[in-house]
């Protein structure tokens, strides 16, 4: 017998059932959104985003559909990995110990 007044687990707890059938609790969703926002803020700092863009992206991540979380985690995770590598390369090349004008005596002549 189906009870039309009975709410499923996602409606009772604020969670969501994903299209592939996995249930995510409200706490899990909140944690994923927090992780996504942290990634976006780090990426914004590394790439020098304007404040308006940071605000718009943060709003979409915080209030957007639950179904966007996993694709966004993948997308921003990849962009963040690339930005971190680029920042590390810049830091290495700009380090005072790295003088690009001096010849390295270990190289064959």
Counted domains in the chain: 1
Domain span holding position 74: 30-93
For residue 20, tell me if it sits in a domain.
Answer: no
Pull the structure tokens for residue 3: 């009870």
What is the pLDDT, as a whole number, of residue 56? Answer: 96
For residue 15, tell me if it sits in a domain.
Answer: no
What is the pLDDT, as a whole number, of residue 23? Answer: 77
- Give the residue-averaged pLDDT of 73-102: 87
How confident is the model over 11-36, as pLDDT tens digits? 445 666 665 557 778 898 899 999 99
What is the pLDDT, as a whole number, of residue 97? Answer: 75
For residue 76, tell me if it sits in a domain.
Answer: yes
Q: Among candidates 34, 32, 30, 29, which has minimal Cα distance to 16?
A: 29
Q: Among candidates 58, 63, 67, which has minimal Cα distance to 36?
A: 58
For residue 58, tell me if it sits in a domain.
Answer: yes
Q: What is the largest CA-CA distance in the chain?
A: 87
What is the pLDDT, as a whole number, of residue 95? Answer: 80
What is the distance between the alpha carbons of residues 53 and 102, in angstroms, rounded to a whole number? 42
For residue 2, tell me if it sits in a domain.
Answer: no
């Amino acid at each position: 017998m189906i009870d039309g007044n009975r709410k499923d687990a996602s409606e009772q707890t604020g969670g969501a059932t994903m299209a592939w059938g996995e249930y995510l609790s409200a706490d899990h969703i909140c944690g994923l959104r927090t992780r996504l926002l942290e990634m976006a803020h780090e990426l914004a700092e590394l790439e020098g985003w304007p404040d308006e863009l940071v605000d718009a992206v943060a709003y979409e991540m915080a209030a957007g559909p639950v179904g966007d979380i996993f694709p966004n985690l993948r997308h921003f995770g990849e962009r963040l990995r690339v930005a971190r590598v680029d920042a590390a390369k810049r830091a290495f090349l700009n380090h005072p110990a790295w003088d690009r004008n001096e010849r390295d005596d270990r190289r064959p002549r």
